Structure formats: C-alpha cells, structure tokens
Copies of this chain bind each other. A is one copy, B any other.
Amino acid sequence: MSSANPDLVHAQRGGIVESFHRGALAVVDADGDLVLALGDVDRPIFPRSACKVLQALPLVASGAADAFGLTNEELALACASHGGEPAHTAIAASMLAKAGLDASALECGSHWPYADEAIKALARAGESPTALNNNCSGKHAGFVCVGCLMARHAGREPAEFVRGYIGPGHPVMREVTAALAAATSADLARAPVGTDGCSIPTYAMPLRQLAHGFARVATGVGLSAEHARAAQRLRKAVAAAPFYVGGTGRLDTRLMQRLGERVFCKVGAEGVYCAALPDRGLGLALKMDDGNTARAAEVVLAAAIEALVRLDDDEQVFLRSISDFALVNWNGIEVGRLQASSGLRQALGGRA
C-alpha cells in the first residue's frame, strides 16, 4: 500500500474536495501493449462480473447458443449483471427452458433485485426474490446451457450432469476458466482465487492483462477462431439488446443504447470496469482502490470513453453528464459536483 494510486474522481462540496476516489486504469491494444497506464496496473485484482463476456465465450463457442436457439436478448443476459426486473427474469427462465431445465438448476443464490421498482413491485405483490432475480442469473443460465449440451453429447441426464457447475473442477467451469485464461493470457493456475458473489471462482489478475482480454474481444486478434467469432456475436447481441446486460437506469445499458457497437462495457463489483472499443482496437480495465463502482468506476469509464472513442457533440454532452455532474440534495438544491479529477482528464487528454 506504499505508493498510492492517483485520485481519479472528486466529490466537490462548498468549493472543496469533500471525498475522492483513487484507482488504476489500463488501456491496452490487441498486441498487449499499454497505450495508457494510470496507477499500478500490475497488481492482481479480481475482475468480478466485469469479465462475464469472457466467461460467456464457451456458450457460443461450444455450439450451445445455436443448439438451443438463443436470441440476442438471451446472449446479452448471459453477459449481464441485470437489475432483476421482470423482463430479465423472464429471459433467464427462457434460456433454462430451452435447455430443458428450470430455475431449480441455478446455483447463484437469491437476492432482492437491484432495480428500485422491481424491489417495490415484489414487495407490493407480497413475493420474495428467487434465483432468477439474482443479477448473475443470465450468466448462470448460460453455464447451464453449456452443461446441458455437454450432457447431450455425453448421453448423460442434463440436470444431474449440470449439478455443481459452480465448482472449479466441474467440466462447465473448467471450460469457462480456460476461456478466461486464453483471452487474458493470465496464469490462472498461479493466480489468487476467490469466490464470487454468485459462488463461482474469481481469479485475480493485473489490470494490464484484463485490458488485453478486452482488446482481444474488441478485435478478435489473439483469440482462437471459435472464441473470436463468439466474442463478436456476444458484442453484437449486447449492442442489439442492451437492456438485458443491465436494466433500467444502469450505466452499461445507457451507454450501449447510445453508442451501439462502438463500445462494449461491463461493470464489476468492487469498483471494476472493463470495456472493448472495437473501432479503436483497444481494451480497457480499471479498478477503484476503495471498491466503489457506482460513484467512482462509472465516472472514470465515462471520462475514458470521452477521450478514446470518436463521439459527436450530443454524445460528448451525454458522456460528460456521467463524468461531471451536479450533486443535488433532497430539496433538489445543487450542493456540489461529482467529476473526473483534473489529473485523470490530463492523462487521458493526449489520447483523444
């Protein structure tokens, strides 16, 4: 903890910086070369949900997406941290039904939806959340689909074959981990390994390698032919159905609704963000030291997109509204601003 990462986001109030967020950011090209590094991009960090698109590569590459006739909405949900809204749970249920199973196959656990309205609607109906409401239910439904295809090929009973898919030694999870390792070139056998919120393993890796994985998703360069095709199909599915990768009010959804295929981005817990920028052939990965996603990682991502992606004037205004905006109180009075730090702007400035 000796050399501090730079402060990337400032919360201003009354003319001073009230709070600030430090972090690190890596922008990498398809060859793995650093285009920009802020802070320590070599310290291993857990990508958490930011790498879901990499974990979804086997869903397409294995043939499961075709075998079960998955739609863009379903493929987007496989890459999602969704809000648990009715449209999300319906699509997760649909994926499972296409594979011949139901929500009882999910091993991600249950939690109340992220989306405020979905919480209140469940409460009004006197209901409790199920595993379908879990933000990871689409990713897990994708794992189940992969497992069901494996079972079909092996002549095994799908429900029984799939059981325990969250364990690192299960054939499904081995395939998922192999895809993550191949995309990032990270040595996962030696990486710190934790358990993610949804109970699958999460492997720590340097931001530099995580960003490289997203440069490969952006370009296909350095991926196997199957994974390159899978990455492109997943990117296009999310661009076509961005509601399903996040949901109402969620930044991933808002950005991709607006920017289409020019950006594929994905949030992760504990202040992580990753993005693939196909037009620029770049990948980026960032992590806030304090793990703050909503208030910090989102601001850094928006500032980076402003600098790295070709935008028209309206799009620039839209992005700036995310990277620099007024904080208002309960009476609607402007009390301060949340904004990318001048240091971050300067570092990004040469990359616009």
Contacts and interface: CB of A to CB of B under 8 A. Distances in A.
A44 B18 CA distance: 9
A198 B123 contact: no
B45 A330 contact: no
Given A4-B4, A107-B331, A16 B195 contact: no
A18 B198 contact: no
Contacts of A202: 13-14
A110 interface: yes
A195 B290 contact: no
> Majority SS of interface residues in chain A?
loop
Contacts of A120: 119-120, 123
Contact of A109 (B45, B109, B330): B330
A330 B111 contact: yes
Given A123-B120, A194-B336, A18 B329 contact: no
B193 A109 contact: no
A17 B290 CA distance: 10
A331 B107 CA distance: 8
A108 B335 contact: no
B270 A11 contact: yes
The count of identical subunits is 2
B109 A11 contact: no
A62 interface: no
Given A330-B110, A331-B107, A20 B1 contact: yes
A298 interface: no
Contacts of A6: 1
Contacts of A329: 109, 195-199
A82 to B, nearest CB: 14
A330 B270 contact: no
A19 interface: yes
Interface string A98-119: 0000000001111100000001
A271 interface: yes
Interface string A176-204: 00000000000000001111111100101
Interface of A: 1, 4, 6-7, 11, 13-22, 44-46, 107-111, 119-120, 123-124, 126, 134, 192-199, 202, 204, 270-271, 288-292, 295-296, 329-333, 335-336
In order of increasing CB-CB distance, the 5 nearest A-B pairs are A14-B194, A109-B330, A19-B291, A4-B4, A109-B331
8 contacts: A14-B202, A14-B204, A18-B270, A111-B330, A119-B120, A198-B329, A199-B330, A292-B292
